[in-house]
């Protein structure tokens, strides 16, 4: 088990599939169950006693800065003049994340914990000697909405593998991961996807997954957001905050 000292929330995306809701609002500031998606993520990070947190921002960054400033322990906001994507955004924040493994949460990730908090389980599972990244994954069959062919398959040891050609695989990334800084060694400059680094880690057997045992919501479109709101309002699933 490791102790997480720092975290990053990726909040710089344009949220194009969530239009028109994101025409004048960053996607992480859209509300679900009475709070913004960003606040939900930051609440979970605070509950895990992680105090050094960075949030990146590009689309209406002043709104993200204002929302963060209202927090009891405001995270540091890094403005991106151009969108650096998931990999470039984290690489840009490395000086603020420190030399130890850190948490990365997508700004639109919304999950409900199972019997134990997902972040606690990730920290317990992460092995810095054998892992470059540990991803929280969902069983695609349990996710409502369009999930395509899935993202990963998993071997008996928990190592993640990419699908073979035309293969449908059972797991999809849930937007939460613990990353060792070495994942970013020799990473490209500028904008790039974390997928590039994950594929490199897969080649060396150092990308792992942990299956989430609680609820998780695929929030890509306005319809997804409405469906999640309806499920929460119906008490079929209950938020914990």
Residue 239 pLDDT class (50, 70, 90 cuts): very low
Per cent of the chain over pLDDT 90 is: 83
Residue 240 confidence (pLDDT) above 60: no
DSSP-assigned letter for residue 152 = B
pLDDT attached to residue 241:
36
Superfamily of chain region 6-233: Spore Coat Polysaccharide Biosynthesis Protein SpsA; Chain A (3.90.550.10)
More confident residue, 239 or 236: 236
Q: Where are the domains of the chain?
A: 6-233
- Half-sphere exposure at residue 125, Cβ-oriented, CA atoms within 13 angstroms: 24
The b/e string for 108-143 (b: 16+ C-beta within 10 A; e otherwise) is bbbbbbeeebbbebbbebbeeeebbbbbbbbebeeb
In tens, the pLDDT along 104-124 reads: 999 999 999 999 999 999 999
DSSP secondary structure string for all residues of 4-57: --EEEEEE----GGGTTTTSSS-GGGSEETTEEHHHHHHHHHHHTT--EEEEEE
Residue 141 pLDDT class (50, 70, 90 cuts): confident
User: Which among 58, 9, 54 has a CA at the least distance from the CA of 36?
Assistant: 9
Per cent of the chain over pLDDT 70 is: 95
In tens, the pLDDT along 154-194 reads: 999 999 999 888 888 899 999 999 999 999 999 999 999 99
- Segment 50-74 shows an average pLDDT of 96
DSSP-assigned letter for residue 224 = H
The residue assigned the tokens 């800065």 is 65
pTM: 0.93
More confident residue, 178 or 146: 178
């Amino acid at each position: 088990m490791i102790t997480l000292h720092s975290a990053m929330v990726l909040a710089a995306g344009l949220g194009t599939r969530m239009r028109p809701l994101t025409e004048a609002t960053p996607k992480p500031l859209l509300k679900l169950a009475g709070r913004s998606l960003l606040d939900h993520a930051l609440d979970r990070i605070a509950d895990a006693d992680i105090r050094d947190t960075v949030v990146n921002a590009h689309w209406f960054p002043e709104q993200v800065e204002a929302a963060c400033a209202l927090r009891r322990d405001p995270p540091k906001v890094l403005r991106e003049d151009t969108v650096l994507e998931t990999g470039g955004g984290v690489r840009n924040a490395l000086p603020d994340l420190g030399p130890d493994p850190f948490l990365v949460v997508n700004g639109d990730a919304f999950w409900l914990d199972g019997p134990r908090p997902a972040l606690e389980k990730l920290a317990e599972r992460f092995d810095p000697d054998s892992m470059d990244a540990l991803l929280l994954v969902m069983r695609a069959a349990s996710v409502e909405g369009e999930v395509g062919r899935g993202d990963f398959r998993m071997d008996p040891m928990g190592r993640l593998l990419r699908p073979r050609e035309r293969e449908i695989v059972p797991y999809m990334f849930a937007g939460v991961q613990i990353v060792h800084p070495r994942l970013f060694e020799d990473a490209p400059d500028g904008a790039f996807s974390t997928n590039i680094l994950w594929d490199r880690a897969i080649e060396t057997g150092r990308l792992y997954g942990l299956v989430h045992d609680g609820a998780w919501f695929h929030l890509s479109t306005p319809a997804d957001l409405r469906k999640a709101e309806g499920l929460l309002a119906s008490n079929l699933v209950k938020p914990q905050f």
